[in-house]
Amino acid sequence: MSAALTLYVPRDSAALAVGADAVVDALRAQAAATGTELTVVRNGSRGLLWLEVLLEVATPQGRVAYGPVSAEDVPTLWPVLLADAAGQGGSHPLRQGVTEQIPYLARQERLTFARVGVTDPLSLGDYAAHEGWAGLKAAVAQDSAAILQAVTHSGLRGRGGAAFPAGIKWRTVAQAPGSIKYVVCNADEGDSGTFADRMVMEGDPYLLIEGMAIAALAVGAEQGFIYVRSEYPQAVAVLAEAIERATQAGWIGANVAGSGKRFDLQVRMGAGSYVCGEETAMLESLEGRRGIVRAKPPLPALQGLFGQPTVINNVLTFAAVPTILARGADFYRHYGVGRSHGTLPFQLAGNIRHGGLVEKAFGLTLRELLDGFGGGTRSGRPIKAVQVGGPLGAYLSESQWDVPLDYEAYAAIGAVVGHGGIVVHDDTADLAALARYAMEFCALESCGKCTPCRIGSTRGVEVIDRLVANRANPQVHEQQVTLLRDLCDTMLGGSLCAMGGMTPYPVLSALNHYPADFGLAPAPVASETAAAN
Ligand SMILES: Cc1cc2nc3c(=O)[nH]c(=O)nc-3n(C[C@H](O)[C@H](O)[C@H](O)COP(=O)(O)O)c2cc1C
Ligand code: SF4
């Protein structure tokens, strides 16, 4: 052997989709041909998605990144990688420099994503060496009340959309009567432009397992389920392996981290319906039935899975918990603004030059994300509209991009932060068409249980069609606008869940901020807030 080389190539779906396995094959072939001792670590993705496949080489200065790398680049890269590994630097068009110093990464505040892309996701040794299990160990040393107090005091709110305080939910389950309780992770991740849950599951699965185990200790649950969408086969495979290894190692199972308490974990696959992400529809699906929304009350915290008290949280909510227990509630609480504590892994998607994962404390602005991280549109044209918070989130026009990203400030402008998904459109976007799509999406995905959503969404598509077709007929046009606003009002106030209840957000924001796309004269922006709240 002439030289030794340690390389990192992600095993994350985003990297696999653009040829990560082919890159590894080419690297191994090169190593065999040159007699090089090669170690390839299949890490998670760093979340700089425009640079995938992001190949890193271990050097005396730390890891150095190259991207986007394809298998065809490997022959020219090879001597440069060897030079880097030997500490002699290197020059190549794909060279991005020391990974941690790439501004997109260096300017983030990664708490949840601290390990993602750094470690081998399935290596228990790597996990432990990077502060893994510190939160669970701290939890085992406390009683349930102290864990609940820490999570409550941290200010952690649900990251799945509704932003409900996690500590209050956990306390409700802990205090609910009954000896059987469950912990369920909602990993349906159906929002447009979102991928943070998947990145955690594929890139740092023990983090989610640790967060769920802490929840189980806090509420007295012995069984947990992770409900993963079927479009995430890679995440399912990684989780299954991680659960097996964590159980074998005694972190979960019959004696959670030596606590004497039991917690078993299983993965369940959904079948690709957006509404199955709604927590009660998810419970129906988990119980083997069609995903139809349940009326509340009873709250799932009191009567959830199989009628038992159940903690339901999003992946990112559970994934924030180990840091809170390991470093203290005050440490976590210190990040953020107002009542939005901690960090949120924002996901930049759509027509954006530098799409990817940006974890920052609450309080930064959309403009900072779009320009500072995203670098404008991929098409090079001006940004026209940005949908924040998934398909039920409002479209934000430029006048709103300086509002701090915090739950209350966004609610005040009729928008939602949601799961942190950000989808960018350039000036070729037609907001009337996007409003129509919001209604159409609702019609397709509605579970059908309540009339405002089931019927209203179909009528919504028709009204928008009539509205657009009658641009030249002011009288009919005006009637249709009135009808559309009335319909949105009914859906907002009369729907059983947020599927029908929030579809008016994208529709009204499009109508109010982009009237010209609907054939309306620009008018002072009406406040959607009153209608949306
Ligand atoms: C139509 C619809 C889809 C939803 N999809 C998801 C989802 O994919 N993942 C998720 O965590 N929450 C989703 N939610 C929110 C859940 O109902 C629930 O609030 C959440 O799982 C609770 O976890 P959290 O408190 O940690 O956010 C959805 C809600 C609705 C109305
Ligand atoms: S709002 Fe839509 S998805 Fe929600 S319960 Fe009613 S019909 Fe079902």
* pLDDT single digits (tens) 285-314: 999 999 999 999 999 999 999 999 999 999
DSSP codes of every residue in 116-133 = TTTS-TT-HHHHHHTTTT
pLDDT of residue 95: 97
> What is the three-class DSSP state of 347?
strand
- Whether the predicted pLDDT of 523 surpasses 70: no
Cα–Cα distance measured from residue 99 to residue 23, given in angstroms and rounded to the nearest whole number: 19
Atom of ligand 2 nearest to the CA of 491: 1
Longest dimension (CA), the chain: 82
* pLDDT tier at 224, thresholds 50, 70, 90: very high
* pLDDT tier at 506, thresholds 50, 70, 90: very high
* pLDDT tier at 89, thresholds 50, 70, 90: confident
pLDDT of residue 46: 98
Task: Check if the beta carbon of residue 388 is closer than 8 Å to that of residue 422.
Answer: yes
Does any ligand 1 atom lie closer than 6 A to the CB of residue 393? no
Task: Check if the beta carbon of residue 227 is closer than 8 Å to that of residue 310.
Answer: no
**Which secondary structure element, helix H or strand E, spans residue 281, and what is its range?**
helix 279-286
**Which secondary structure element, helix H or strand E, spans residue 226, and what is its range?**
strand 223-228
Measuring CA to CA, how many Å separate 498 from each of 41, 449, 505?
42, 13, 10
Percent of the chain topping pLDDT 70? 97
Residues 241-262: tens digit of each pLDDT:
999 999 999 999 999 999 999 9
Cα–Cα distance measured from residue 447 to residue 445, given in angstroms and rounded to the nearest whole number: 6
Residue 95: strand pairing partners: 66
- Whether the predicted pLDDT of 431 surpasses 60: yes
- Whether the predicted pLDDT of 137 surpasses 60: yes
- Whether the predicted pLDDT of 211 surpasses 80: yes
Query: Alpha helix (H) ranges present in 386-520?
Result: 407-412, 431-445, 451-469, 474-494, 498-502, 504-513
- How large is the average pLDDT for residues 394-402? 98
* pLDDT tier at 1, thresholds 50, 70, 90: very low
Nearest bound ligand to the CA of residue 282:
1
Chain-wide mean pLDDT for the chain?
96
Q: What is the whole-number distance in angstroms between the Cα of residue 32 and the centre of ligand 1?
A: 48
Question: Among 446, 457, 490, 505, which residue has the most ligand 2 atoms within 8 Å of its CB, making it the best to mutate?
Answer: 446
Q: What is the whole-number distance in angstroms between the Cα of residue 491 and the centre of ligand 2?
A: 10
pTM of the model as a whole? 0.96
pLDDT of residue 526: 47
Residues 258-287: tens digit of each pLDDT:
999 999 999 999 987 999 999 999 999 999
Atom 8 in ligand 2: residue holding the nearest Cα: 447
- Whether the predicted pLDDT of 528 surpasses 70: no
Residues 6-53: tens digit of each pLDDT:
999 999 999 999 999 999 999 999 999 999 999 999 999 999 999 999
> What is the three-class DSSP state of 37?
strand
Amino acid at 243: I
Atom of ligand 1 nearest to the CA of 392: 1
pLDDT of residue 212: 99
- How large is the average pLDDT for residues 510-529? 75
Task: Check if the beta carbon of residue 509 is closer than 8 Å to that of residue 414.
Answer: yes
- Whether the predicted pLDDT of 455 surpasses 80: yes
Both structure tokens of 167: 């500590």
* pLDDT tier at 522, thresholds 50, 70, 90: low
